[in-house]
Chain A
Amino acid sequence: MAKQESALPLPAVAPDGAEAPLPRAAPGGTHHGSQPPDAPARPTAPAKSTEEGKLLPSRRSSILSTLNAPFASRRSSLGAAPGGKRPAAGPWMLHSRVSFSGLPLFQPIQETRYENTYKMQPDEGCKFNACRVQRVLESALASSLGDVVYGAQSGTQLAHSLADLVRSRAKEVVPPRYKLVCHVLLGQRGQQSMLVASRALWDPQSDSFASATFSNASLFAVATVHGLYFE
């Protein structure tokens, strides 16, 4: 995916995850986009110091490399592009603010913006492979539940860990740009009957699901993974 970088001079920056100050979807002010309020604040940046960029070029690069890491991994599956007009990155945008005492304030978070990829469908050969995922599910269930005996307290933990395991295994084999929904049912084996059904509203050409079951003497497990293509 193509990237274009622009610096956002945010006043009080906290690098903890994708919080509200980071606009993601575009125009028309979605409920979690904060770009419109930020836009008027931008022109005030050049009023602050202008020599900061020369003093700390190396520091900024190291900060950018650490700050970009958590966002980039998240952004790669979303492909959100900027909304609205952005001024070109002139020299004043690269400079941070300086307090009155001359100490540098926190560097602005440089946000990675992705351009439109114009992709409507998954690439050739990059679709959700249901057979492969089913094999992976079966092996994951068999390896983790081979000799386990059902216990009421341990069942909760086991179900949780199974769900995470299934999701991590499925992520390895599923192509990128897919969202995954993993559902695990773990039950004690008795004389009861059970029916599991699921239905989805999706694009049948790009989305699919895979499921696998496992049972031993004391328990049974049903794992389902749905893959949804996200453009």
Chain B
Amino acid sequence: MEEFHPHNDEMIFNADEAHNIVKECIEGVLGKADYNHNKVNQWTAAIVEQSLTHLVKLGKTYKYIVTCAVMQRSGAGLHTASSCFWDTTTDEIRLVNGEFPGLDFIGLETWISFSLFSAQTYCSYCLS
């Protein structure tokens, strides 16, 4: 029976690369649109879906969770915190918060908090 061993590069996850992917998705979805309150739902869904699609294409043995919170800026405060029970050597969090360069109109109206959690799902074995 053939053993399945993932290749070495599938097990190593570069979180900075994922961070850049997510930032590009956000700027791609929001950069070309004028602010429209009714479209916030669509934007959130589009950002999350596109990020996940790009992450899947990396082909790593990882599970991903992306969370996006969009809030209207009215002077109220917002705090986010996350706590994870996982393996700190292989799993990471990346956060993209707040304002984005070149998206000033968004900065006036909304506050965006985006979190990416990546958890390794496969630990390869060797039959000894």
**What residues make up the interface of A, taking CB atoms closer than 8 Å to B?**
18, 24-32, 74, 77-86, 116, 150, 152, 155-156, 158-160, 162-164, 166-167, 171, 179-203, 207, 224, 226, 228-231
Contact = CB atoms under 8 A, between A and B. Distances in A.
A156 B79 contact: yes
24 contacts: A28-B7, A82-B128, A84-B126, A181-B119, A186-B78, A189-B76, A190-B76, A192-B72, A193-B72, A194-B72, A195-B71, A197-B45, A197-B70, A198-B68, A199-B48, A201-B52, A201-B63, A201-B64, A201-B65, A202-B64, A202-B65, A203-B63, A230-B120, A231-B123
B40 to A, nearest CB: 6
Interface of B is mostly: mixed
Given A162-B81, A180-B84, A231-B123, A188 B76 contact: yes
A186 B113 CA distance: 12
A155 B8 CA distance: 42
A158 B79 contact: yes
B65 A184 contact: no
B85 to A, nearest CB: 4
Interface in B51-76: 52, 55-56, 63-76
B93 to A, nearest CB: 8
A202 B86 contact: no
Interface in B114-128: 115, 117, 119-128
A186 B79 contact: yes
Given A25-B123, A185-B69, A231-B121, A81 B86 contact: no
A190 B74 CA distance: 7
Given A182-B82, A231-B123, A18 B74 contact: no
Contact of A197 (B68, B74, B127): B68
Contacts of A83: 124, 126
B87 to A, nearest CB: 6
Contacts of A31: 8, 12
Interface residues of B, number: 55
Contacts of B90: 32
Given A30-B12, A31-B12, A198 B79 contact: no
A86 B45 CA distance: 50
B56 A159 contact: no
Among A81, A86, A164, A200, max chain B CB count under 10 A is at A200
A65 B34 CA distance: 63
B56 A201 contact: yes
Contacts of B67: 183, 196-198, 224
B102 interface: no
B11 interface: yes
A164 B79 contact: no
Contacts of A187: 71, 76-79
B36 interface: no
Contact of A195 (B40, B49, B91, B117): B40
Nearest to B37: A193
B92 to A, nearest CB: 11
A79 to B, nearest CB: 7
Contacts of A181: 65, 82, 84, 86, 117, 119
Contacts of B127: 116
A194 B70 contact: yes
A26 B124 contact: yes
